[in-house]
Amino acid sequence: MTETPLRFSAFVMNTTSHIVHGLWRHPEARQHEFNDLEHWVSLAKTLERGGFDFIFFADVIGLYGDYRGDFRKYAETGLQIPSNDPTVIASAIAYATERIGIALTSSILQQHPFNWARQLSTLDHASNGRIAWNIVTSALANAHRNFGLDDLTPHEQRYRWADEYLEVTYKLWEGSWEDDALVGDKTGVHALYEKIHKIDHIGERYRVEGPHLVSPSPQRTPVLFQAGSSPTGRAFAARNAEAQFIMTPRTDIAERLIADTRELVAGSGRGPRDLKFFQGLSFVIGSTEQEARRKNAELEEYVDADGMVAHLSGGLGGIDLGRYELDTPLKDVHGEGTQSTLQWVRDSVRGREATVRDLGLLQSRNTRVVGTPERIADRLTAWRAAGIDGVNVINATLPGSYAEFIEHVMPVLVQRGLARPVTETGTARRKLSGGDRLPDTHPARAYRRALGEPAAV
């Protein structure tokens, strides 16, 4: 059986320090120019020419938990603050490019679903169907307080909230307008009233009368990404997502996770291949293995281990790791719900006791591939065999990480059938699944069937 080439997405954020903290200080790094629109437009053009399928914008709407009692560390190191809204620059990227998909992260917190559906439909029209939405529920307490809530909404309640949020958007995107409702006949009728429907949604959180104010865009519903790793998050993805972003440290772990999640997808009444998996990986590239190791050592000199620990701290069961010095042995770090992560780091360090510093450094290394283009192609072959459908490429520097990957690695990947020789035209969904609209097995299609429309082709 012929193996399908991988899809490639550039994982970015409209901020200075996104994932690998401290690298903005590298002389060649330009991610501190994030306020400059041309910075993003130029990067998107480079990615499109280089064969990338998506530019994938992460986003946050709040600070991570306090580190050493406040957010000084985040401000002083640019750790996702300032953080600008990527949806504002999406239309400029859409105008300046022709083929690359534009994936935008947005939380159920930050916009009413009626307005968000309208905004994404407008962008999908403007881009000729190249918009994707990364659905998040926001696990940062500060984000919830920023939008008028007392504190972090409990995990299970956030996903119940997300279920209703999606129900509203699905009704608007799929159930409000029939395909042939917009006529544009200059002799009389602009749109057919009887083919435009109010949705009359009444739920736990939202009351939305409708109709949707935007006619059907090329995709109707944008491509749906999701990144939740909890059992509830994975079940949500199995019901709704078309692509899931994962960050597993090894291929064997990815293989088990993907197989298990595909079973959940099938259990929800969808085809197991309806959900694609994008593994997050970063790359250090050398013409020889020796050069690659030298460049990796140089990169390590710029990594802010304390920043990596600060970023990680908020997700480890409520521990403020800032209370510990970086050289504190991990055996002296205690907290509920964190021991599996801490034990993984302890097992990874040989010949000595692992420290808090190791926790940060290993977090920056556990999805990093170091080597020649051929060596990287070997590793991506193994990842594909584990079941991934694409790679979300994490950068150390902008635009250098992507320019180097495109110049040196992409040609080898194309030669081996791991990447496509060109980025195709067409909608974002067509690149993932071969069609422009959601398949009939997706739950949102129920709102189209309610209008008596035929199944997707």
Instruction: Supply the pLDDT for residue 372.
Output: 98
Rounded CA gap, 324 and 333, in Å? 8
Instruction: Supply the pLDDT for residue 361.
Output: 77
Instruction: Supply the pLDDT for residue 360.
Output: 76
Instruction: Supply the pLDDT for residue 457.
Output: 39
Instruction: Supply the pLDDT for residue 362.
Output: 75
Instruction: Supply the pLDDT for residue 316.
Output: 61
Domains by residue range for the chain, with CATH = 7-286+372-448 (3.20.20.30), 304-367 (no CATH)
Q: Are 263 and 234 in contact (CB under 8 A)?
A: no
Read off the tokens for 284. 């250090």
> Which residue ranges in the chain fall short of pLDDT 50?
1, 336-338, 454-457
Other C-beta atoms within 10 Å of 216: how many? 21
The string of pLDDT tens digits covering residues 71-113 is: 999 999 999 999 999 999 999 999 999 999 999 999 999 999 9
pLDDT > 70 in the chain, percent: 94
Instruction: Supply the pLDDT for residue 324.
Output: 87
Taking the alpha carbons at both ends of the chain, their separation in whole angstroms is: 25
Q: Are 249 and 379 in contact (CB under 8 A)?
A: no
